[in-house]
Copies of this chain bind each other. A is one copy, B any other.
Amino acid sequence: MTIKELGGEFAMLKRLVRQYPGDPRLIVGVGDDCAVLDYSDDKYLLVTTDMMVENDHFSRKWQTPYQIGMKLMESNVSDIVCKAGTPVFAFLSMCLTKAVTVEFMDEFYEGLYASAKRHGVMLAGGDTTHGDIFVFNLALTGEVKKESLRLRRGAKVGNALCVTGELGGSTAGLKLLLRGKEGFLKDHLEPVCRTAAEGELISRYATATIDVSDGLGSEVTHICEESGVGARIDHAAIPLSPATVASGRMLGLDPYDFALYGGEDYEIVFTMPGEKISELRKEFDDFTVVGEILDPGEGIFISRGNKKLPVQKGYDHFA
């Protein structure tokens, strides 16, 4: 039986991953952006891991080694800061081809270290091996104050559904590259995630959080499933940059779909009581209200004009 026949990546993980709720040292296991582990009196330890495979997550055709190293770090840091954590130690595993040059590795590490420096991360270990393609894996630890930790679960009916920054830019850039068109590529080639300070600020108001790895549609679905709620996404409210809108026009594609189903924007989706929004805006203003958390019976849908559109499934490596 193929994984596709089973129902895709998430069906497979559901089948295979055994949770052991008995161990008190594991606060949150598989199924959120990070694992949350017992640590000290006032802090939890966070651990996340992300694998980047050549020709899937990056291409040496259009990404420089610097950009590959940078993206590897940013995509992992994003998982920590969206839980209100501060990233600390990174562990890098690399599968390199025999043809790799020292110049490639110099640049790759430059990008990795530039991002690590921005987020205060220290490289503390790793493993190097070789194979037919480039594969990079980063495991990253972080710390979070116990009272600051926010998870995918926790969204409450009536909460505002919010997202930081602008969405769809990474996917717009990728589509331009795939079709050999010129345009705004920076969001795809050099994505920058939110900082620990921003994640911590958001957590003071948020009831649930997740980072945008797989598109707004997929992330809102995760929050709803884990929180046992429904949600309305207001199509017109989804924040797009002028560059993303222009790229969509050039490609003849709907840029809102880049935001909903693209991913790799490394922004933070969060839910919070609507009455506190103006209070948060005094401290942090770079976010948009894109909908509302609803009763679970209402399901998850996109409100576009008078229509209720279903949320398509997010990216699945095996669907």
Interface residues of A (CB under 8 A from B): 1-3, 5-6, 9, 12-13, 15-18, 20, 23, 25-26, 29-30, 34-35, 37, 39-40, 45, 47-57, 88-89, 91-96, 98-103, 105-106, 109, 113, 122-133, 135, 137, 139, 141, 317-318
Q: Is B123 touching A23 in the complex (CB atoms < 8 A)?
A: no
Chain B residues lying within 8 Å of A48, measured Cβ to Cβ, are 91, 125
Q: Is the CB of B56 within 8 A of A128?
A: no
Determine which residue in A5, A124, A126 has the highest number of CB atoms from chain B within 10 A of its CB, and name it: A124
Query: Which of B57, B93, B125 is in CB contact (< 8 Å) with A29?
Result: B125
Tell me if A127 and B40 are in contact (CB < 8 A). no
**Who on chain B is nearest to A40 by CB?**
B40
A11: nearest residue on chain B (CB-CB)? Answer: B102
Contact present for A56 and B1 (CB under 8 Å) = no
Q: Is the CB of B55 within 8 A of A25?
A: no
Residues of B contacting A12 in the complex (Cβ-Cβ under 8 angstroms): 102, 105, 128
Chain B residues lying within 8 Å of A141, measured Cβ to Cβ, are 37, 47
Which residues in B have their C-beta under 8 angstroms from that of A126?
30, 49
Q: Across the interface, do A91 and B139 meet the contact criterion of CB distance under 8 Å?
A: yes
Contact B100 A35 (CB under 8 A): no
Closest residue of chain B to A36, judged by CB? B124
Give every chain B residue within 8 A of A18 (Cβ-Cβ). Answer: 113, 123
Taking A16-B106, A137-B137 as contacts, is the C-beta distance between A49 and B6 under 8 angstroms? no
Q: A102 contacts which of B15, B40, B123 (Cβ < 8 Å)? A: B15
Can you give 15 A-B contacts (C-beta < 8 A)? A2-B101, A3-B102, A6-B102, A20-B122, A23-B122, A29-B123, A35-B125, A37-B124, A39-B39, A49-B91, A51-B127, A51-B137, A96-B318, A98-B318, A133-B133
